[in-house]
Structure 1
Amino acid sequence: MSAVDELLAQIPISQIAARLGVDEATAETAVRSAVPTLLGGLEANAQDSGGAASLESALAQHQGSSLLEGGVDIDQVDATDGEKIVGHVFGDNTDQVVSTLGGIGGAGGTSLMSKLLPMLAPLVLTFVAKQLGGGAQGQATSASGGGIGDLLGGLLGGKSAGAGGGLGDLLGGILGGGGTGGSGGIGDLLGGLLGSGRK
């Protein structure tokens, strides 16, 4: 099971569907689009020294979080914190990212995505903080010379954003063919929007 799948398996789709007022299939499609996008945005920010410092600080704040312990309860997620995280990750491109993700077939539209990303962002940060602290999958830091960017690259499938065709291709590889719409998947849609967060 990949790290992304491990995180997705912990997210209570039925609870999110109920909270958003949609069916579970729509909620699952939206979550499967949003989680790798958040991870990809974090990785893109980590490639910049200022962004990496900001990310390290955010991860430190989520290091001891119990959000992922004993089953996730969406009611315990601080959506206000989530909105701040989303704003930092995507910066001026937040609205475009939300709109792009919302336009994916079956993902429920922009309004749903704008509510979903802040719900998921604290979970994603908590998961990455756990990995960085040597959690269940504590791969990456020592194996590839350290750094949050390397860890996030590992979580996203073993590539870093600087390799090959960049983050767009990486996300496309993760999500392409998953009913995400568009020939190259979400990566092609979002490639230019990620990495513009506030440093």
Structure 2
Amino acid sequence: MRVVTLANHKRIVMEQIMNLLNGDFVNQLTSGISKQTGASEAETQSVVSTAIPALLGALQNNANSTQGSEGILSALASKHDGSILNNLSGFLGSSDTADGNGILKHVLGDKRGALEQAISGKTGVSSGTVSQILAMLAPIVMGYLGKQSRSKNVSDGNGLNDLLGGLLGGQSGSNILGGLLDQNGDGKLGIDDVGGLLGGFFGKK
């Protein structure tokens, strides 16, 4: 059975997060979300560092189907073109999470609560606060993905999967999510965990 230790998983994820979020951007993101949710900046950073690869992993799972990839590409070509990153302070200063909740509903469906509980368990931040942070992060992640897709001229499902795979450091969406959802508590991500829970986690209802 192929096993990935959670320590190695965490290292890989953190390397990708540091590449994705750096310098003033991550400080602005953390500070803005902290003010809106009431979580401390340390708590916010912990959730953000865990949630972003999870959201990218969920998007990759959706992109594995033709319908899913077409839906994501359509959203990236229209509403989520990356312009949100040009006025991040304005977005973070608003309290409107309708767009983020819509994205999460589309990407996670009725599995959102399970992911929130998993992130809460890993970070020690309440699931209610995690829910708020996810709703604020979702449009930012989509905006970043939209910006990257434009710069790399991504136009089809294969290109989208390659882009998401690159952002995830070559990890599959199932492995990234599995690092959060290690069900048997043995500190390892094995085939039993991935095949058991994730086999239906983002599958068709």
Same fold, TM-score > 0.5, yes or no: yes
Give the letter for the 2:106 counterpart. Answer: H
What is the TM-score with the length of structure 2 in the denominator? 0.72
Q: After superposition, what is the alpha-carbon deviation per residue over 1:17-41, rounded to whole angstroms, capped at 9, x for unaligned? A: 1211121111110111111111000
Tell me which of 32, 35, 53 is aligned to 1:18.
35
Contact 2:47 2:123 in 1 (8 A): no
Give the letter for the 1:168 counterpart. Answer: S
**Given the superposition, is the C-alpha separation of residues 21 and 193 from structure 1 closer, same or farther in structure 2, using an over 3 Å criterion?**
farther
CA distance in structure 1 between the partners assigned to 2:138 and 2:131 by the alignment: 12
Give the letter for the 1:23 counterpart. Answer: S
CA distance in structure 2 between the partners assigned to 1:182 and 1:27 by the alignment: 27
**Given the superposition, is the C-alpha separation of residues 111 and 63 from structure 1 closer, same or farther in structure 2, using an over 3 Å criterion?**
closer
Q: After superposition, what is the alpha-carbon deviation per residue over 1:122-143, rounded to whole angstroms, capped at 9, x for unaligned? A: 0000101111111xxx49x59x
- After superposition, residues 132-171 of structure 1 pair within 5 angstroms as 132-134=149-151, 138=152, 146-159=158-171, 161=172, 167-171=173-177
Q: After superposition, what is the alpha-carbon deviation per residue over 1:142-163, rounded to whole angstroms, capped at 9, x for unaligned? A: 9xx942112101110024x3xx
CA distance in structure 1 between the partners assigned to 2:170 and 2:93 by the alignment: 33
What is the TM-score with the length of structure 1 in the denominator? 0.74
* 2:196 pairs with 1:183: no
Q: Which residue matches 1:47?
A: 64
Higher relative contact order (CA 8 A, sep 6+): 2
Contact 1:90 1:193 in 2 (8 A): no
Gaps of 5+ in 2: 1-13
CA distance in structure 2 between the partners assigned to 1:66 and 1:25 by the alignment: 27
User: Match of 1:157, SS?
Assistant: coil
Q: Which residue matches 1:34?
A: 51
Give the letter for the 2:39 counterpart. Answer: V
Give the letter for the 1:149 counterpart. Answer: N
Q: After superposition, what is the alpha-carbon deviation per residue over 1:164-194, rounded to whole angstroms, capped at 9, x for unaligned? A: xxx3324567x8xxxxx97248xx6984565
The structure in which a higher percent of residues are helix is 2
Contact 1:59 1:129 in 2 (8 A): yes
Count of aligned residue pairs for this structure pair: 178
CA distance in structure 1 between the partners assigned to 2:188 and 2:47 by the alignment: 17
CA distance in structure 1 between the partners assigned to 2:200 and 2:117 by the alignment: 11
Contact 1:34 1:101 in 2 (8 A): yes
CA distance in structure 2 between the partners assigned to 1:77 and 1:18 by the alignment: 11
CA distance in structure 2 between the partners assigned to 1:194 and 1:123 by the alignment: 23
Contact 2:17 2:49 in 1 (8 A): no
Gaps of 5+ in 1: 162-166, 176-180
Q: Which residue matches 1:178?
A: none
